[in-house]
Structure 1
C-alpha cells in the first residue's frame, strides 16, 4: 500500500463551467465565473487531496479523494438553498479530482518501473466493471484507515468527491495503458466526454429499412461483435429526427434516460418512416499479434538524410501498419485497426458477392477510409515524418487488393478464375488512396500474389519463414477465414486454400466476437466447469478464436462432447456455459456452434492432408510447421491437435510466427528482399485447387469428427 498526496492542486474554472452546461462565453458565463472565483479560495482551503494504491496479485487498486471537508461545504450550500453555488463548487471540485488523478498517474509510471511491472488495461467500477468492485478497492487499499474513504451498502464511496480505479498488471514495465477511453465508455451523456474522441456521422435512413444494413450501404462501418443479435450493444445509434420503435433488446441495453434521448441498436431497428440518425464512429485497437515489433524509443525524431516508408497488411478482418526508417531498417511505430469491410461479409467469398451485386464502390471507399485513418494515427505522434515518407508497400490477399484498387471482382467468384491482377506493380499514392491530405509524394508497391485465393500475404510469408531458400521441407499455414497453406522448399512449392469460413474467428457463433477487450481468449475446463481468461482481463462479452479452440479442446478431453461433436446432457439443448456478461447473461457454446466449429476445423485439416497427399511429399520430410496470422499467433498447437485442427504428429514441430504478411512488406521497404525476389517466389509455386478435389471432399468428411 502506498499513499500519494496531491500537490498544488487548483480548480479549473473554465472547465468547471463547461461541465455545468455553460456552452459559450456571455453574460451568464461571466456571472457564474465571478461566483467561481469567489469560491475558489474556500475550495483550496478545504482540499485534502490524496490517493492510496494497493498492488494485489495481477491488479492494482487506487482510491482518490478530496477529503470530507469539500463534501461538507457542498452540503452547506444545499442546506442554505444556494443550489447554483453547490453545483459550481461541486464542478470545480471535480476538476481538482481530475488534476489529482493526473498527478497519481504520473507517479504511478515511476512506481511501476520500480516494481518491474506494467499496466495493460484501466477499469472504472460502474462503467466497465460492476460497482461492487469499489468494495474490493476500499478493502485492498484499507482506504478507511489510510485516506478516510468508505463504501456504503449501495456501493457508493464516501466522501462524495472520491473515485476508484482498477488496473490490470503485466510483467512488461514499458506497457502503460492508464488513460480513460471515452470511445468505449457507456456514459454517452457524460459532461466530461472529450470532444473529438467520438465522431458522429449523420444519415437519413428511408422508411422500410433495416437500419444497420442501410448504414453499411452508405459506407459507414458498424461494430457487430455479437453478429447482430442485439447482445453486445456496440452498434448504437441516436435518433435526431423522426421515430424509431424501442425493441426488447434496446430496453435491455439502454436506460430509460438513454432511450428518451433516442439511443437504439442499429442491428434490431427497422424504420417505419424516414429517420435522421447520428452514428458514432469508433476505432477498435488491440490486435498486437498483427503488428510488427517497434523499437523501444518513446519518441521519434527525424534523422537527417533518412527516408521513411509505410508497410501495410490488409487482412480480411484487420489492418496493420508499420512506420519504417528505410535507411537503417528500424520499425519506428505500428498501428492496427478493424477492416470495416467486414460489415459487408466476414469472408472473401461474401465480399466478392457484395462487390458483384452493386456494393463494390462502398467496399472500395471503406478500405481507403480505413487506411487513411490508420496512417493519420501513425503520423499523429510523429509530426513531420509524413513529408519524408515516399514509399509504401502493401501485402494483402487477392480479393483485398481488388477491393482496394477498385478492380472488378467478377473474375474472382467462379471457375475458371480471372483476377484483374495479382499485384507486383507500383502506383502513385493518389491512385491507391484517392485524394487525401496525409501523403502526396509517395509510390505504393503491391506485393505479388500467386493465385486468386493465395495472395501476396502468403508470398510474404514464404519469404519471411525462409521456405523458398531452405533445403528442408516446411508447411506454412495462415489461419483465418480462408486457410491458405504452402508445402515445400526452395526446389518445389505447392499452395492451396481451404474455405474454412469465419467460425474459428468467432463468426456465425452465438457468442462469437473478434479480438476485442472482454473476448474470452482462454478456456480451461475442470470437473465440468469452465475457467476463462479474457482480453485485457475485461468483463466477458463473447468468445474469440483461441477461446473457441481451447473450449472445444476442453470439452473433448472431458468427454462433454462425443466423437461426432454431440454435447452430452444437460448441455445439448442449453449449450455449455463458459461465463456471464456484466448483466448476467450466460455466454455458452451451443450445439449449433460446435457444428460450425467442426466444419471450419475439418476444412483446414482436410486442406493440410490433401496438400500433403497431392504434392507427393512424404510427411516424414516435414521438419517445421509455421502458423501465421493473429489467430495462429496465440494458438496452442497441442490443443489444436486435440480437436483435429492440426495433425498430432506435426504439433510438436509447430511454431507461431505472427503477421508474416506485414513483415514481408517491411522487408521490401528495408531492402531485405526485392520485388523481383518476391515475384520469383510467387511464380515458383504450383497450385492445388481443393474445391473440386476428390481427396479433399473425402478427407473433409473424415475430419468432421473429433
Structure 2
C-alpha cells in the first residue's frame, strides 16, 4: 500500500506581475496598467476562494503527486467565461496559475524534508500529458486517493477536476542526495508559454524552384534533411509542409500521411518534384549535444589540461551512424578531450548499401563533402577548446569500415556494390591532410593515416577492435561483436581468426523505425513495463524525442516478457494496428513501437544472431572453448547482455561471458597515434583473418529464419 501524505498550501498570494507576463502584456504601456489594476482588484477574491492542497503517495519506486487550488476557484473562472467576461476570465486564470506554481514550490520544499526522513532521493520528474501519457493522471489520482483526500477526480477526457489542479510523477532513487524535481521548460509542451526558455525544434522556410527534386534542393541549401531509407519514401522522416504552391501527392505520401495531413500540405521531400516554385516549411531540430560513446579518458572521465611541449593528434572513428573524435596527447599517451556527432551522410541513406548506391548514382562528391565537413567541425571544436594544442597537432588517425573510407577519400564505390566486392583500397596509407579533409582542414600541413581493414565489409574499425581486445594476442578463444549497422564479428585467438559481417541494417540503431533516433538528448534509452504501461528513461533526462538502440532492445525485451509480443513478433491487441505507446513528445505525439518496427527489429537481431551462430559453426571451433565475448560500439557499450539474450540477439549461454568494451574503433586509432600499436602490427592482425561470407552461406539463411522469432 502506498504511503500517502497531505500538504496544505500556506499563505499563497497571486503574483500579479507574473500573471501579466503569462497573458502577454509587455513591461510598459496603458494596456498593462489597466490589466494590472484589474488583477489587483481580483487578488482578495482569489485568496478567499483558495483551498490549496496536495496529496503525495510513495510507492516502492515512484512518488505520485496531485495538487489543487480547490473547486471554488474553478467555479469562479467558469462564471466569468459563462458571463462572456473574457478579459476578466483571462486574467483570473493567469493569476490562478501563479497560485498553482506557488503551491508546487511549497510542495517541493516539503518533499525534500520528507525524502530525507525516508532516506530516499528523486531521480527525475515526469509530467502526465508531456513526457507521460495523459492517462497516467488516473493512476496518480488512484494512488493518492485524491478523490477522498483533496477532492480531485479524473473526468472522461482524462483531465483533472477541478480544473485548477495538476499531477506529477517522480522516480525515486536510493541516493538521498539526489533531488531532480524542477520543471524543465525545454521539455514542456506549452511552446507558447512566456516562461519557456528554449525550444527543441524550429521551422525553416525556403522556396524550391520549379523542376527540382525537393530533397536535393533542400540539402543544397545546407539543411540537414535525414533520409534513413535512402530516399525510397519508406521511413517518413523527410517530411515537409507546403506553405504556398502545389506539390503532387505521391503514393508514398498517401501511405505515410493521413488525409488531414495531406490536406494540410505535408509531403515527403524524397519523392517530391516541383512543377512550379513552391514555398516549404521544413521542421529542423535545433542543434543539440550528441551523446555517443567516444573513448574512456585516462583521467577518470574529466578533460585534462594541454601540456606545453607535448605533441598532439586527432583520433577518429567514422561510423555509419555516428562520428567520434579524440584529442590525444601523443607524448604521454592520454586522451585530452573527446567530441561526437551524427554522421551527416545519413541524409543519403541509413546503411552502407544505400550510400554505396547513392555514390554510384553520382552523389559520391556530396557524400565526401558531408563527412569532410563533419570531421573538420569536430576537429576545430576540439582545438578551439584547447588552443594550446593547435600548434603541435599535426596528425590524425582514422578507423572506419571500408565503405566509410571510400566515401571519405572519394574512391569509387562500384567495386563495393557488386560481387566479387573489390575495394579500391583497404586503408593502411598516410596522406596529406588537405587531400583527405580538403584545403580548409584543421591540420594545415598535417598528415592523416587510415587504419587497415580486412575485406570489403569487415573494415579497419574491426581490425582496431580485434587488437584492442587482445583477441589476436591470446591463446584463449574469444568472440568479438561490433553492434552497428553491420554486425561485424571475429572469432578465434592468436593462432587462427575468422571474421564475418552480418547485414543487420540500421534498425537496432534507430534507422527505419518510425521513432528511431541516434543517441541524442531525449532519446529513450531505457524501458520497463509495469501494469501494461511503459516507463522510460531518456538520455540527459530530456523530453522524449525518439528511441535509440538500447531503448529498442529494452523495450522489446519488456514486451516479450510481459506477453505483449508473442514468439512470432506479433503485437497483442489493441496495439497491433496503432503500435505500443512508450512516451509523448513535446507536441503530444505518441512515440510508439509499431508492428512494422518490430518486424524491422526482428530482421536485424536475427541477422546478428544467425551471423554469430554461422561463424561459430563454420570456424570449426567448439562452442565451449569460447571464454569471452567482447561487445563493442557505442550501441554495445550501453547494452544489457541479459536483455539482448531475452530477445535472441545474443546466445543465452554466452550472455554471462559478455563484456561491453565501448568504442574499440576509436581506441585503436588512439593507440596508433600514441605508439601503443604500430601499423605493422595492425596489418598483421588484418592479414591473419579468414572471412566467412554469410551472404552465400546456406546455413546462415536457415538460421536467419530460425532466429526471427523471439
1:339 aligns with 2:340: no
1:588 aligns with 2:587: no
**CA offset at residue 508 of structure 1?**
5.7
Question: Aligned with 2:594: secondary structure?
Answer: strand
Conserved 8 A contact 1:462-1:476: yes
| Equivalent of 1:465 in 446, 469, 473 | 469
Question: Aligned with 1:125: secondary structure?
Answer: coil
Paired with 1:208 and 1:199, the residues of 2 have a C-alpha distance of 27
1:280 aligns with 2:279: no
**CA offset at residue 628 of structure 1?**
1.6
**CA offset at residue 651 of structure 1?**
4.9
Question: Aligned with 2:280: secondary structure?
Answer: strand
- The structure-2 alpha-carbon separation of the partners of 1:288 and 1:295, relative to structure 1 and needing over 3 Å to count, comes to farther
Conserved 8 A contact 1:523-1:530: no
Paired with 1:599 and 1:8, the residues of 2 have a C-alpha distance of 59
Paired with 2:140 and 2:318, the residues of 1 have a C-alpha distance of 42
RMSD: 6.0
**CA offset at residue 460 of structure 1?**
3.3
Range moving further from structure 2, 94-103 or 483-492? 94-103
- The structure-2 alpha-carbon separation of the partners of 1:428 and 1:597, relative to structure 1 and needing over 3 Å to count, comes to closer
- The structure-2 alpha-carbon separation of the partners of 1:80 and 1:219, relative to structure 1 and needing over 3 Å to count, comes to same
Could you tell me which residue of structure 2 aligns to residue 360 of structure 1? 364
Conserved 8 A contact 1:395-1:661: yes
For residues 85-142 of structure 1, what are the alpha-carbon distances to aligned partners after superposition, in whole Å with 9 as ceiling and x for unaligned?
A: 653565566577668768877997898788455535x543233433232233344445
Count of equivalent residues? 673
Range moving further from structure 2, 491-500 or 65-74? 65-74
Could you tell me which residue of structure 1 aligns to residue 158 of structure 2? 155
1:166 aligns with 2:173: no
Paired with 1:608 and 1:245, the residues of 2 have a C-alpha distance of 49
| Equivalent of 2:690 in 682, 688, 691 | 688
Conserved 8 A contact 1:467-1:488: yes
Paired with 2:567 and 2:102, the residues of 1 have a C-alpha distance of 53
Question: Aligned with 2:279: secondary structure?
Answer: strand
Could you tell me which residue of structure 2 aligns to residue 290 of structure 1? 293
Could you tell me which residue of structure 2 aligns to residue 32 of structure 1? 31
**CA offset at residue 482 of structure 1?**
1.6
Conserved 8 A contact 2:345-2:367: yes
1:604 aligns with 2:603: no
1:119 aligns with 2:123: yes
Paired with 1:375 and 1:7, the residues of 2 have a C-alpha distance of 56
Question: Aligned with 1:135: secondary structure?
Answer: helix
Could you tell me which residue of structure 2 aligns to residue 475 of structure 1? 479
- The structure-2 alpha-carbon separation of the partners of 1:433 and 1:507, relative to structure 1 and needing over 3 Å to count, comes to same
TM-score (norm 1): 0.70
- The structure-2 alpha-carbon separation of the partners of 1:633 and 1:245, relative to structure 1 and needing over 3 Å to count, comes to same
Could you tell me which residue of structure 1 aligns to residue 633 of structure 2? 629
| Equivalent of 1:418 in 405, 413, 423 | 423
For residues 372-430 of structure 1, what are the alpha-carbon distances to aligned partners after superposition, in whole Å with 9 as ceiling and x for unaligned?
A: 78789x98xxx983434545765432323443455554454444633456266586599
| Equivalent of 1:500 in 493, 499, 504 | 504
Conserved 8 A contact 1:482-1:499: yes
**CA offset at residue 595 of structure 1?**
7.8
**CA offset at residue 352 of structure 1?**
1.7
**CA offset at residue 627 of structure 1?**
1.9
Conserved 8 A contact 2:236-2:514: no
- The structure-2 alpha-carbon separation of the partners of 1:201 and 1:401, relative to structure 1 and needing over 3 Å to count, comes to farther
Could you tell me which residue of structure 1 aligns to residue 132 of structure 2? 129
Conserved 8 A contact 2:356-2:416: yes
Conserved 8 A contact 1:202-1:277: yes
**CA offset at residue 354 of structure 1?**
0.9
For residues 567-605 of structure 1, what are the alpha-carbon distances to aligned partners after superposition, in whole Å with 9 as ceiling and x for unaligned?
A: 89x999x97998357779883369965983586246513
Question: Aligned with 1:458: secondary structure?
Answer: helix
| Equivalent of 2:318 in 314, 321, 329 | 314
Question: Aligned with 2:465: secondary structure?
Answer: helix
For residues 189-237 of structure 1, what are the alpha-carbon distances to aligned partners after superposition, in whole Å with 9 as ceiling and x for unaligned?
A: 6666545642343333456777567646766444678999999986554
- The structure-2 alpha-carbon separation of the partners of 1:54 and 1:481, relative to structure 1 and needing over 3 Å to count, comes to same
Q: List runs of 5+ in structure 2 lacking aligned partners.
A: 585-589
**CA offset at residue 532 of structure 1?**
7.0
Paired with 2:607 and 2:93, the residues of 1 have a C-alpha distance of 57
**CA offset at residue 285 of structure 1?**
8.1
Could you tell me which residue of structure 2 aligns to residue 385 of structure 1? 385
| Equivalent of 1:403 in 399, 402, 407 | 407
- The structure-2 alpha-carbon separation of the partners of 1:641 and 1:163, relative to structure 1 and needing over 3 Å to count, comes to closer
Paired with 1:432 and 1:8, the residues of 2 have a C-alpha distance of 62
- The structure-2 alpha-carbon separation of the partners of 1:226 and 1:119, relative to structure 1 and needing over 3 Å to count, comes to farther
**CA offset at residue 701 of structure 1?**
3.8
**CA offset at residue 351 of structure 1?**
0.9
Q: List runs of 5+ in structure 1 lacking aligned partners.
A: 562-566
- The structure-2 alpha-carbon separation of the partners of 1:363 and 1:91, relative to structure 1 and needing over 3 Å to count, comes to farther
Question: Structure 2 matches for 1:436-451, cutoff 5 A?
Answer: 448-451=451-454
| Equivalent of 2:553 in 546, 564, 568 | 546
Could you tell me which residue of structure 2 aligns to residue 564 of structure 1? none
Paired with 2:374 and 2:212, the residues of 1 have a C-alpha distance of 26
Question: Aligned with 1:316: secondary structure?
Answer: coil
Paired with 2:164 and 2:666, the residues of 1 have a C-alpha distance of 48
Range moving further from structure 2, 104-113 or 485-494? 104-113
Conserved 8 A contact 1:290-1:320: yes
Question: Aligned with 1:418: secondary structure?
Answer: coil
Question: Aligned with 1:688: secondary structure?
Answer: strand
- The structure-2 alpha-carbon separation of the partners of 1:319 and 1:254, relative to structure 1 and needing over 3 Å to count, comes to farther
Paired with 1:358 and 1:632, the residues of 2 have a C-alpha distance of 34
**CA offset at residue 624 of structure 1?**
1.7
Conserved 8 A contact 2:293-2:662: yes
Conserved 8 A contact 1:458-1:478: yes
TM-score (norm 2): 0.70
Question: Aligned with 1:684: secondary structure?
Answer: helix
Paired with 2:270 and 2:373, the residues of 1 have a C-alpha distance of 23
Paired with 2:402 and 2:567, the residues of 1 have a C-alpha distance of 40
Could you tell me which residue of structure 2 aligns to residue 350 of structure 1? 354
Conserved 8 A contact 2:517-2:547: yes
Paired with 1:299 and 1:69, the residues of 2 have a C-alpha distance of 54
Conserved 8 A contact 1:611-1:688: no
Conserved 8 A contact 1:576-1:589: no
Paired with 1:58 and 1:225, the residues of 2 have a C-alpha distance of 37
Paired with 1:333 and 1:54, the residues of 2 have a C-alpha distance of 44
Conserved 8 A contact 1:227-1:508: no
Could you tell me which residue of structure 2 aligns to residue 657 of structure 1? 661
Range moving further from structure 2, 56-65 or 633-642? 633-642
